[in-house]
Amino acid sequence: MMMVSSREMEQASSQSYQKIIQEASQKNALNRDREEVERVRAVAQRLIPVTGIFRPDAPAWKWEVNVLSSKELNAWCMAGGKIAFYSGIIERLDLTDDEIAAIMGHEISHALREHARERASQAMVTNIGVSVLGAALGVGRAGTDLMGSVAKVSFELPNSREHETEADRMGVELAARAGYDPRAAISLWQKMAKVSNGGQPQWLSTHPSNETRQRDLSEYAARVMPLYEQATQHARPVK
């Protein structure tokens, strides 16, 4: 049962995102590496148009993409297309563009399926942030509480196993349709496993990287390879 509307979630996400960006800017931790930012934004520019295959309204969202300077292995996408990559995940994993697309496709998929909205509603039911129920967004303490809840469910608390699997599968399809090799999701997890030494990084949490997840990604990457081949064929110059 959804206790927060899509409009409320998107508005709260936008407000929370702007607060995060402003704080990062004040700390000189926003978009410090121009080349890195351009790489991430270029990937987003190719992924955003194909989001319409899952949600016709998504390409018209007010998308924003920024890179935050941090050693954390983290990336997220809030409702309405508010994306943040941490420099740590790009640099420590030495990501290729295909691997950046794998991460971004996964995070965008959470937003497309409104997983944060679902989890915010669940949190209210379990008395976490229940005071925001039925509140007019942005008015008084209730609006502030909703913003805080949005931040937590968007990039602090782990997603459920079901949400992670759905985002994995949608993410490789988005990457493939945008002309990025969907098999990069597998190499990404291999890198993640090495860096985390079997532990649990904040990004893509709920359960650790394991053979079951890599097998599932391998299967779905193979399924969408024709989409990748079609996208790359169209991108090649005509001789």
pLDDT, tens digit, 9 for 90 and up, residues 167-215: 999 999 999 999 999 999 999 988 988 887 655 554 455 554 567 778 8
DSSP symbols for the chain: ---S-HHHHHHHHHHHHHHHHHHHHHTT-BS--HHHHHHHHHHHHHHGGGGGGT-TTGGGS--EEEEE--SS--EEEETTTEEEEEHHHHHHTT--HHHHHHHHHHHHHHHHTTHHHHHHHHHHHTTSSGGGTTPPTTSHHHHHHHHHHHHIIIIISPPPHHHHHHHHHHHHHHHHHTT--TTHHHHHHHHHHHHHTTS--STT-SS---HHHHHHHHHHHHHTHHHHHHHHHHHSPP-
- Return the top range by mean pLDDT from 96-105, 136-145, 163-172: 96-105
The average confidence (pLDDT) of the chain is: 82
Which range, of 28-37, 52-61, 100-109, 138-147, averages the lowest pLDDT?
138-147
So what's the pLDDT on residue 114?
81
